[in-house]
Structure 1
Amino acid sequence: MKLNTPKLMLTALALAATSAYAAEPVIGLITKTETNPFFVKMKEGAQAEATKLGAKVMSAAGKTDGDNAGQVTAMENMIAAGAKTILITPSDSKAIVPAIKKAQAQGVMIIALDSPTEPANATDALFATDNYKAGVFIGQYAKAALNGKKPVIATLDLFPGHPVGAQRHNGFLQGYGLTSLDAKSNELAKPAEVVCMADSFGDRAKGQTGMENCLQKNPNINVVYTINEPAAAGAYNALKAAGKEKDVLIVSVDGGCAGIKDVGAGVIAATSQQYPLRMAAMGVAAGVEYAKTGKKVSGYTDTGVTLISAKAMKGVDSKDVKTGTDLCWGNK
């Protein structure tokens, strides 16, 4: 018996380890791209929360923003690997829905992060910024900053039909007090004050090209709305090359660390800061709870938004660059 004891102990330990591994919740995270800093931070948040709660995160992304096929393949691979919760930032809000329904039929909980599906109730839950409110904040700021001067606006949008792109765009116009559409619309309003609209896909290079084209259409542009801060940085490059960077106000959405640095440097006048790390952490926690109890989350959870600017405007609630730096994409 004494000779067999070590073997029995090793077997017991091995079985315990195997059991513990099998019980480890597997949670999938599918983002739009691997390279956008917003999604890099989201991945960090998911991994940190998973480590804390004893879960395993599988991550994947589309090749580019809009790559629905890549996201569908990632979802199928994660389900095959045992994921019972998948967190996703949908690239195509409509086209992803059949894959989501198929996953749910297999008992997988699907939580959208940052971007809703269309319809929004196709997922079990949504953890996201109020993107319309984020747009309203920068619209209010831009109007106050122009101080009565007639706006000549260019918008560097995401791409047609995406709900987040529409919400930010239309919210910006609403905040400025211009003719707009409500938060439920996926169309982009174009009042007379908007003289140029370009699709940037949230990309710096495409943002620069879009701004160059807009300046050719109308060199008198004095306000630029951008879907995110990489697009804003591209717009600034185009304006600087044209010698107009001091004459044009750029506002944006995201609040990433690089974006807040650009606010401090005067590249961006103001940005609406959101919190992707928090979105991902909440999604992982919900996934662990589902694995343990079978309880699913539901509905929309607002993960917060804060206006950050280097120069405060009277009547507009904003925080300074130091606050934005302290909070950039993390938890409050």
Structure 2
Amino acid sequence: MRHFLFPILFAVAVSGCSSKSDTSTAQSNSDATDDRPKVALMMKSLANEFFSTMAEGAKTHQSQHADEYELIVNGIKDERDLSRQVALVDEMVAAGADAIVIAPADSKALVPSLRKAINKGVVVINIDNQLDAEVLASEGVTVPFVGPDNQAGAKQVGDYLAEKLTAGDKVAILEGIRTSFNSQQRVAGFEASMKAAGVEIVSSQSAEWEMAKANSIAASILSEHPDIKAILAANDSMALGAIAAVKSAGKTGDVLVVGFDNISAVQQAIRDGKILATADQYGDKLAVFGIETALQLINGETDKPSDVETPVDLVTAESL
């Protein structure tokens, strides 16, 4: 069964960016009892504003519910550092975590270590980037996914872009890490929109979620395909790299750029007319959705973990 959560369920204030290191941060309260469950939040790169915002949202929620649980926040410095994230899973199990809420850097590589955690009685909740169903089945475990429909969110963005294009126009896609399910789903949403609009995708390359790499790849695409009309980026960091490449090529206003995540820098770029649209998956609340689900399982409020679909909405200049 798939349940639905909406942003109004959780009032989460967001403060400034957190540290960009992968050092664990424990949230504690002197008045809280020692038998509080310990929840480990494990994210991808905190150098990405989306994940630092997610971390701050989780910390704020914990401070408002300090008597209910203890929070440990972890992140990796580089989204490609799979070995470090695997090591963090083992470290959190050794530290006595009752639950791990994880945004995996890879949809397949983290499953074996998470299976070991589950076998030791740790509740595991998957957020942001969905774990691979076939690998989960092969490991004999079930991990509920709490997050948005990335394909539907990307299709909203692509459909909005398509309204500005003409059949026969050419576009390019900047993918995330190709083994990440959320990248695959966002690309699928973009592709569906462009196909329906009769728009040709002349290039689709992975920039691995990174701004600098996206800038380099976008510059190359613009050189090879000077007639493209838009670049669809699977996250906002890559969208920012793309608009820098567009500016350098002297094509600002001629090549449209869209993204996904709704980070603050992209909100400003949308207001300035540099980016056309993005998708908001409520990063400040996404970890909270996962934490709440973990606590329900720990507290015995439900014994049947199930996927929870969270909101994702189109963001444009009109909606800001």
Which category of TM-score, normalised to the shorter sequence, fits these structures? Answer: 0.7 to 0.9
For residue 88 of structure 2, what is the aligned residue in structure 1? 74
- Structure 2 residue aligned with 1:286, among 280, 293, 312? 293
- Structure 1 residue aligned with 2:71, among 57, 63, 67? 57
Q: Is the 8 A contact 2:243 2:274 kept in 1?
A: yes
- Answering whether residue 121 of structure 2 is matched by residue 107 of structure 1, we say yes
Spell out the pairing of 1:261-276 with structure 2 (5 A cutoff): 261-276=268-283
Q: Distance in 2 between matches of 1:74 and 1:21?
A: 26
For residue 40 of structure 2, what is the aligned residue in structure 1? 28
Q: Distance in 2 between matches of 1:300 and 1:222?
A: 38
- Structure 1 residue aligned with 2:239, among 217, 232, 236? 232
- Answering whether residue 268 of structure 2 is matched by residue 298 of structure 1, we say no
For residue 224 of structure 2, what is the aligned residue in structure 1? 217
Q: CA deviation at 1:258?
A: 1.9
Q: Distance in 2 between matches of 1:161 and 1:192?
A: 26
Q: Distance in 1 between matches of 2:304 and 2:263?
A: 27
Any unmatched runs of 5+ in structure 1?
A: 1-16, 180-190, 312-319, 322-332
- Structure 2 residue aligned with 1:169, among 187, 190, 193? 187
* 1:187-210 Cα shifts (integer Å, max 9, x gaps): xxxx98221222112111111001
Q: Distance in 2 between matches of 1:138 and 1:291?
A: 37
- Answering whether residue 108 of structure 2 is matched by residue 86 of structure 1, we say no
Q: Distance in 2 between matches of 1:100 and 1:174?
A: 33
* 1:256-305 Cα shifts (integer Å, max 9, x gaps): 22221111111110111111222211222233333333745622211111
Q: Distance in 1 between matches of 2:306 and 2:168?
A: 41
For the residue of structure 1 that corresponds to 2:47, the secondary structure is coil
Which has the larger helix fraction? 1
Higher alpha-carbon Rg: 1
Which of structure 1's runs of 4+ aligned residues deviate more than 6 A?
none
For residue 124 of structure 1, what is the aligned residue in structure 2? 143
Q: Distance in 1 between matches of 2:237 and 2:299?
A: 39
Q: Distance in 1 between matches of 2:207 and 2:219?
A: 12
For the residue of structure 1 that corresponds to 2:172, the secondary structure is strand
For residue 152 of structure 2, what is the aligned residue in structure 1? 133
Q: CA deviation at 1:178?
A: 4.5
Q: Is the 8 A contact 2:123 2:298 kept in 1?
A: no
Q: Distance in 1 between matches of 2:288 and 2:282?
A: 10
Q: Distance in 2 between matches of 1:308 and 1:289?
A: 31
Q: Could you state the TM-score of these two structures normalised by the residue count of structure 2?
A: 0.83
Q: Distance in 2 between matches of 1:221 and 1:83?
A: 50
- Answering whether residue 51 of structure 2 is matched by residue 39 of structure 1, we say yes
Aligned residues with identical type, % of pairs: 28
Higher RCO (C-alpha under 8 Å, 6+ residues apart): 2
Number of residues of Structure 1 aligned to a counterpart in Structure 2: 285
Q: Distance in 1 between matches of 2:115 and 2:266?
A: 36
Q: Distance in 1 between matches of 2:35 and 2:285?
A: 25
Name the CA shift for 1:294/1:102 in 2 (closer, same or farther; >3 Å). Answer: farther
